[in-house]
């Protein structure tokens, strides 16, 4: 005999069923809006950086992720942040409310600790540096497959960075970072395989510690955060023989941090002016600077080659 349940009975059954149903996956939030806003991840917490009277402060974006992440970059094509977490690595897609979508990365040798990264200009790959073996990887954002594209150890002297940002000028892409030990400017073309890594000794920012956040802006300039001091520097014309460097803000110290912003937007920090106090070498001809640079590199390479096994002692981004 068929029995007809009362509305109250049906409601009770619905409550019981919902109690045993699996919880729905947390939906990924909306994309960011491209703007001058700078972002930093400190440990597992995404933060928005704000500058007032040359003082850098932060506001949390959503809740902290379940694990720390690093080597992140802002994708100017879809306006999401991409980063890496764990070993074996997971590729994280981060939304404007701090929610995260995670996918396992394949093809990358383990163990690894990714500490520096940015998204390629075409929005297809996360270019990331593994400090464990100095290798640089291109990780496809659609397939999550990693491809080795070179090593920072091929630089003269061998390099090690806490973050880098990709600048595109005239269709040419360049990834810029700052050496952990010396503070010298390190750069390479992330579209090459293998990459050719170069060092400019005319720029030295925050020697003896990681520069965990590097941001690029629409003018092709860089902004750099020094972990140990919390100081922020602007680097104008990073492709020049002698870029203009100026301290533009101060903030709290932060180990285990990473920086990213929309490179199509202006900088949130004051752009350095040629008439202001500069920390880089100026007033010297490019020929003289090249000779000085060559001499500096030759003398320094020997010392760093001996010391580079100890560079892991410096806290990374």
Would residue 63 count as lying in a domain? yes
Predicted confidence (pLDDT) at residue 241 exceeds the cutoff of 60:
yes
Q: Average pLDDT for residues 226-246, to the nearest whole number?
A: 95
Helices and strands in the chain, H and E counts: 2, 20
Q: CB–CB of 44/256 below 8 Å?
A: no
Pick 221 or 26 by higher pLDDT: 221
d(CA 206, CA 98): 30
In a domain? residue 9: no
Residue 34 within any structural domain of the chain: yes
pLDDT digits (tens, 9 = 90+) for 154-174: 999 999 999 999 999 989 999
Q: Is residue 272 part of a domain?
A: yes
136: in domain: yes
Q: What is the pLDDT of residues 31-72, one digit of tens each?
A: 999 999 999 999 899 999 999 888 999 999 999 999 999 999
Q: Which of 175, 98, 102 is nearest to 137 (CA)?
A: 175
Percent of the chain with pLDDT over 70: 77
| Mean pLDDT on 281-290 | 39
* Per-residue confidence band for 4, with pLDDT thresholds at 50, 70 and 90: low
- Does residue 284 lie in a domain region? yes
- The CATH number covering residue 61 comes to 2.120.10
Whole domain around residue 192: which residue ranges? 29-308
Which of these ranges, 8-17, 204-213, 287-296, 302-311, has the smallest mean pLDDT? 302-311
Rounded Cα–Cα distance for residues 237 and 242 (Å) = 8
What integer best gives the mean pLDDT of the chain? 84
- What is d(CA 212, CA 203) in angstroms, rounded to the nearest whole number? 16
Q: Check pLDDT > 90 for residue 294.
A: no
10 Å Cβ neighbour count for 142? 8
Number of domains observed in the structure of the chain: 1
Half-sphere exposure of 215 (CA within 13 A, CB side): 29
Q: How confident is the model at residue 207 (pLDDT cuts 50, 70, 90)?
A: confident
Asked if the structure places residue 5 within a domain, the reply is no
Region 200-211: mean pLDDT is 91
pLDDT of residue 6: 58
Query: So what's the pLDDT on residue 174?
Result: 98
Q: How far apart are CA 287 and CA 220, in angstroms?
A: 24
Residue 209 domain-assigned (yes or no)? yes
Residue pointed to by tokens 């490179």: 263
SS3 of 223, please?
strand
């Amino acid at each position: 005999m068929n029995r007809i349940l009362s509305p109250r009975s049906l409601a009770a059954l619905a409550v019981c069923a919902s109690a045993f149903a699996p919880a729905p996956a947390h939906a990924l939030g909306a994309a960011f809006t491209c703007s001058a806003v700078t972002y930093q991840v400190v440990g597992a917490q995404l933060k928005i950086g704000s500058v007032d009277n040359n003082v850098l402060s932060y506001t949390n974006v959503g809740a902290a992720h379940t694990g720390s992440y690093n080597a992140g970059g802002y994708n100017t094509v879809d306006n999401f942040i991409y980063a890496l977490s764990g070993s074996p690595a997971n590729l994280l897609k981060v939304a404007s409310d701090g929610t995260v979508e995670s996918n396992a990365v394949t093809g990358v040798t383990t163990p690894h600790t990714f500490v520096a990264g940015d998204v390629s200009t075409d929005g297809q790959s996360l270019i990331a540096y593994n400090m464990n073996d100095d290798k640089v990887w291109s990780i496809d954002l659609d397939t999550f497959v990693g491809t080795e594209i070179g090593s920072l150890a091929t630089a003269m002297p061998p390099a090690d960075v806490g973050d880098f940002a990709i600048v595109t000028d005239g269709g040419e892409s360049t990834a810029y970072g700052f050496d952990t030990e010396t503070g010298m400017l390190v750069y390479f073309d992330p579209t090459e395989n293998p990459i050719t890594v170069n060092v400019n000794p005319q720029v030295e920012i925050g020697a003896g510690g990681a520069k965990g956040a590097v941001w690029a802006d629409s003018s092709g300039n860089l902004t750099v955060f020094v972990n140990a001091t919390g100081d922020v520097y602007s680097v104008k014309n990073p492709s020049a023989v002698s870029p203009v460097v100026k301290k533009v803000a101060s903030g709290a110290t932060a180990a285990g941090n990473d920086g990213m912003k929309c490179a199509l937007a202006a900088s949130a920090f004051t752009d350095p002016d040629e008439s202001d106090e500069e920390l880089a070498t100026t007033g010297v001809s490019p020929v003289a600077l090249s000779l000085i640079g060559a001499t500096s590199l030759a003398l320094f390479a020997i010392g760093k080659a001996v010391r580079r096994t100890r560079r892991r002692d410096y806290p990374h981004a």
